[in-house]
Amino acid sequence: MEIKVLGCYGSQLPGYKTTGFLLNGRVLVDAGTVTSVLTIEEQARIDHILITHAHLDHVCEMMFLADNINISAGRNSPITVLSTPGIIRAMKDHLFNDVIWPDFSCIPSIEKPVMAFEPLALEVKHSLGDLSVTAVRVSHSVETVGYIIEFEGGTVIFVGDTGPTERLWEIARGYEDLKAIFIETSFHDSLKNLAALSGHLTPSCLDTELKKLGDHAPDIYLFHMKPMLDLKRIGDSILRISNRNIKILKDGEVIKL
């Protein structure tokens, strides 16, 4: 499994891009960064997009991806966008609503659209080629899921934007071959009230969350830091979390599992 970090921050500034992870060149987890870093050929190779939630920093470049694929005609089949029915509804009502952006699930035709939306039932395994994917609810300010992705040789979990949560950890503990977890830490501890209000984690919250993993010791990849904050200060607090192999991600990195 190869995971390319297209963007891994909780907002956008020069040198800092919002969330998007490309798995094996074909499956995108969130679409906050896609079109600003991939060539048109690389964009046309994406078959599936898993969306954790409809916040702009996780979906914004999906709009341009649809437009690019439509005009460049690099594909014979639609790119399939998968998420829960509620999250799909939010994207259709508020983004692809023919006001903010065209409804690319009807373009160029209803029979052969650029983009197709496919609802995922929670906690049910869904096959995506050689991967299988399970969506699990987490605890953010809007409906949000994390994705448990099984591949040949292991399991990786992408925790969506979340505050303290339970069910995902309960399920994660059942995976003996858990290789890695991609999880957010948005704010430093002095902003813990804002983190609680907005459904995000601070380093202390992260420490508490990781204890819910029990004896499991997957690699932990951190993302979604707010780039307008003192990132070193967040990083220094992360270093104090013991007994965990934690790495803070950077845009453009490639992780092999």
* Interface ranges with Zn ion (CB under 5 A): 55, 57, 161
SS3 labels along the chain = CEEEEEECECCCECCECECEEEECCCEEECCCCCCCCCCHHHHHCCCEEECCCCCHHHHHHHHHHHHHHHHHCCCCCCEEEEECHHHHHHHHHHCCCCCCCCCCCCCCCCCCCCEEEEECCCCCCEEECCEEEEEEECCCCCCCEEEEEEECCEEEEECCCCCCCCHHHHHHCCCCCEEEEEEECCCCHHHHHHHHHHCCCCHHHHHHHHHCCCCCCCEEEEECECCCCCHHHHHHHHHCCCCCCEEECCCCCEEEC
Question: Which residue in the block uniquely carries the two structure tokens 């929670």?
Answer: 122
Q: Looking at beta carbons only, is 45 or 94 nearer to Zn ion? A: 94
How far is CA 151 from its chain centroid? Answer: 17
Q: Looking at beta carbons only, is 48 or 58 nearer to Zn ion? A: 58
Q: Looking at beta carbons only, is 139 or 204 nearer to Zn ion? A: 139
Joined together, the tokens standing for residue 236 give 């220094």
Q: Looking at beta carbons only, is 114 or 157 nearer to Zn ion? A: 157
Provide the minimum distance between the beta carbon of 132 and Zn ion in the complex, in angstroms, as a whole number.
25
CA 139/CA 16 separation, integer angstroms: 25
Provide the minimum distance between the beta carbon of 9 and Zn ion in the complex, in angstroms, as a whole number.
9
Joined together, the tokens standing for residue 118 give 């496919």
CA 138/CA 163 separation, integer angstroms: 8
Provide the minimum distance between the beta carbon of 54 and Zn ion in the complex, in angstroms, as a whole number.
9
Q: Looking at beta carbons only, is 184 or 207 nearer to Zn ion? A: 184
Q: Looking at beta carbons only, is 57 or 207 nearer to Zn ion? A: 57
Amino acid at 233: R
Q: Looking at beta carbons only, is 114 or 135 nearer to Zn ion? A: 135
